[in-house]
Amino acid sequence: MKKVFMILGTCLLAAMVVVSCNKNNNPQPNPDNGNENGNENGGGNEEPQGFTMDVSIDGDFSEWDTLTSETADGEYFIYDENYNAAFNGMLRLKLTSDADNIYVYTELLYENIYVNPNGPITGGGSWTGWIPTHKGDTPGALIIYVGCDDDDTGAYAARADADNESLWSYTGFDAFPQYYFCWDAASNKMAFGWNQNNWPQNHGYDPENKDSWWGLPLGSHGDGWWGDDQEGTPVSDNTVSDASTFKFSGVTTVKDPVTKKDASVIKIEFAMDRSAINEDGTKVSGKAVIGAFYENVGDGSEELHQTDATGAGKLPSGKTALTLKLK
């Protein structure tokens, strides 16, 4: 009889495990919300347990609503929110992945979105600017700094802040895709312009003089940009993400995590191709160390701030970059 009870108990335990992994069930709270993660090695060799979500880049943000400070495990599912009222242009950042992509969700204050009066916008590139017309009105970018391997001693740090220190203390970033977009006044909606990827360690930084830049903050917005030396589409432009994998909401209202007041924002979701982040096509695996920075300050009616390192906001707010374990 004891053996029968043991078999029944084993079956019950197995059933409980199956139920807990079903994404349609209520996710289990986790006190680790992913804020201020360290940069420990590892990840990518195990499947996340408990909460899960499937991301579709379609402009419907409902799946992201399920990733909260309570459901995030701080490893495969990261939730981070701003806590610096003086640097609040980016309110929230959420991260996850699948076998092919890193997925990013963020909320940017609408007051800092560049309003382009020259639309309707049909695309763009870093040689051409906005299509169909470019009048030198390129705003500051949304920049995602990515550390692609387990080496946190090489490559470079993020750009310097007002105190001439890197935005985060991590010094092993390998690439920083930049995203350009605007509010298209003619179409009355957000428009994606282009993605530009930068690799300072491969372009413009002297490999024979590493002491002058190795592990130090980037000097400027344009460090490491690489074109094809002719007007047209630069090498590897619009390959990490493009208009089909980068989607916006309209102007919508969320709660500012600092003030708890209503704030007008643009929600953004996008996929970053894990095989296009590194210039040599090496797929990012295991983990990715990530920091997000939004340069543009104001709507562009007076002045654009493409190279202003103080920017509108960054996440995480502190000095420790986020570490996402990759599936």
Which residue type does 117 have?
P
Q: Is 57 left (phi over 0), alpha (psi -120 to 50) or beta?
A: beta
Q: Among all chains, which residue has been given the structure tokens 């939730």?
A: 79
Residue 201 is predicted with a pLDDT of 83
- CB distance 154 to 172 below 8 Å: yes
Q: Which residue has the tokens 């209202």?
A: 253
DSSP string, 149-212: SS--SSSBEEEB-TTSSBSSS---B-B--EEEEEEETTTTEEEEEEEE-B-TTTTTS-TT-GGG
Residue partners of 147: CB distance under 8 A and separation at least 6: 39, 155, 170, 172, 173, 174, 288, 289, 290, 321
- Mean pLDDT rounded to a whole number for the chain: 84
Ranges of H-type helices in the chain: 2-20, 62-65
| 104, 270 contact by CB (below 8 A) | yes
Note the pLDDT of residue 211.
Answer: 85
Q: In a structure prediction context, what are the per-residue pLDDT tens digits for the chain, which is 327 residues long?
A: 333 333 334 433 333 333 333 333 333 333 333 443 443 334 445 677 789 999 999 999 999 999 999 999 999 999 999 999 989 999 999 999 999 999 999 999 999 999 999 989 999 888 888 999 877 788 999 999 999 987 888 888 999 988 889 999 999 999 999 999 999 999 999 999 999 988 888 887 888 888 888 889 998 888 888 775 555 555 667 789 999 999 999 999 999 999 999 999 999 999 999 999 998 899 999 999 999 999 999 998 888 887 777 899 999 999 999 999 999
Query: To which residue do tokens 């190795």 refer?
Result: 214
- Per domain, the residue ranges of the chain are 29-325
